[in-house]
Chain A
Amino acid sequence: MKRVVWPLVLALVLAACGDAPSPARLRDIGALLPPLTFTLHDGEARTRRAADFAGQVVVLYFGYTHCPDICPTTLARLAGLVRRLGAAAARVSILFVSVDPARDTPAVLHAYAEAFGPRVVALSGSQEQLGALARRYRVSYGLGPADGDGQYEVSHSSAVFIFDPRGRARLLATAEDSDADLLAGIQGLLAAGGNERWDGAR
């Protein structure tokens, strides 16, 4: 019976790991997460939807502007990498989603995004909107206890989700991935043809 079961288990394992070939050495999440869908607001308090970014490679990252280290370093790194793309940078948007809307008002978001250059868009939303997005991409966040000045830490996911111009979830990057891999991943998604369609929500 073992003879039957083990090849079966192996086949399942291979099926679970061996999805479509990845354009880079970042983790391929093509089969795991749904297409980009959200309704949030930006630094001008305008409503922004996922479809606004159709035709662009979207780099999605969750954080908050009072974040002491991880968020600014990650954003600076991503913005620096995208700048290296030259003219193609115009087809990449880095979406920074603040999960701390109480402190991150549109004005704060606007100033924060500006510090990282033109390709960064800072977004936030109501608890329902943020919750829906976090649930969709299976990330968690939580507010820590407030100190004497009413300041608090926010725990959040460290994942960088990368979507292709059709809005499909494609790659997952973490702090451990190299600049070269990240750049190759984004370039791969930009180079792939057939991007006229949009798979996310309108």
Chain B
Amino acid sequence: MQPDSAWAYLLPWEFYPAVVLFCGGLAWLYIRGWRRCRHSARPAGYAALVSFLTGLGLVYLVMHTYLDYLAQHMFWIHRVQHLVLHHLGPFLMLLAGPWEVLRAGLPVSARARWLPALARNRPLRLLYRGVQYPLVAPLLFVGLIYFWLLPEVHFGAMLSATRYQLMNWSMLLDGLLFWWLIFDSRPASAVGRLGYGGRIVILSLVVPPQILIGAHMALATESLYPVYNVCGRAWPISPLTDQQIGGLVTWIPSSMMSVLAMLVLLRRWMREREGAPLRQGSVS
């Protein structure tokens, strides 16, 4: 089941309108907003543009190309897919501090009516506050990784198309929420902004559980996820090798993202202390 031409690798394995709407919509909003902000008092730089679009592009690639097929039939590629959906993609998107730019990209009517209405919506605000509560956010972040890796749950997610979609979207949305909290680029005076110290604590809290589950998979001597045997792997590879690589992907790069984020935060923290105002949409 291989595409016959190089281009065909970029075609969606299964066509999901939601992915096209999500990625296309955000790209359109961001580029529009970025150009509008270009000559404003607080323009977003090229670095922010590249960071946001790279993150978004990576999310699209793992969800809507041949990689989606490979992720369904090779455990370690599934782990790479989740590394992008939960860590790398949202990390790069939120690193760009995209909210002002995205807001500027919205049509005026939406900015004037929908946004304030959304911000005033009480259940939505409560829900948002709940999931972004400093103790809940890391628990949700790690909990989702563990949940979808429970062997029984994983089996169902890999067999049922609906559950597979649910799994990938839950990882992406939680990734966006988590890195939104971490890279909150509003000024220190903003209501509800979590301090840098708190964010660094959260980042360090999520590392050990990820190392633990990654090591558990990398060092296991038996196959934990037989679903890939049942459905067939994308190419011949021993189940244990597949699982070991998958474990390493969960173990090392995922934890590294926390360290990288801490470095970014430390730098922002020092700048803020020195009194230099953060440039809108600044990447570092």
Contacts and interface: CB of A to CB of B under 8 A. Distances in A.
Nearest to A156: B232
A42 B159 CA distance: 27
Nearest to B229: A158
Contacts of A32: 156, 159-160, 163
Interface in A96-136: 131, 134-135
B236 interface: yes
22 contacts: A1-B135, A2-B139, A5-B143, A9-B147, A12-B147, A16-B152, A17-B152, A27-B155, A31-B156, A32-B159, A32-B160, A33-B159, A134-B1, A135-B13, A138-B159, A140-B72, A141-B232, A142-B235, A155-B233, A157-B231, A158-B230, A159-B232
B5 interface: no
Given A1-B139, A32-B156, A159-B232, 17 more contacts: A1-B133, A5-B139, A12-B147, A16-B153, A32-B160, A34-B161, A134-B1, A140-B72, A140-B73, A140-B233, A141-B232, A155-B235, A155-B236, A157-B232, A158-B229, A172-B159, A174-B229
**Among A5, A140, A156: residue with most chain B CB under 10 A:** A140
A1 B136 contact: yes
Given A31-B160, A33-B159, A131-B1, A157 B143 contact: no
Contacts of A16: 152-153, 156, 163
A131 B1 CA distance: 7
List of 7 A-B pairs having minimum Cβ-Cβ separation, nearest first: A157-B232, A32-B160, A140-B232, A140-B73, A32-B159, A159-B230, A17-B152
A174 B235 contact: no
Contacts of B226: 174
A29 B230 CA distance: 13
A45 B38 CA distance: 65
Contacts, number: 78
B118 interface: no
Interface of B: 1-2, 13-14, 69, 72-73, 133, 135-136, 139, 143, 147, 150, 152-153, 155-156, 158-161, 163, 226, 229-236
A134 B231 CA distance: 9
A174 B231 CA distance: 10
Interface of A: 1-2, 5, 9, 12-13, 16-17, 27, 29, 31-34, 131, 134-135, 138-142, 144, 155-159, 172, 174
A6 B231 CA distance: 31
B72 A138 contact: yes
A13 B146 CA distance: 11
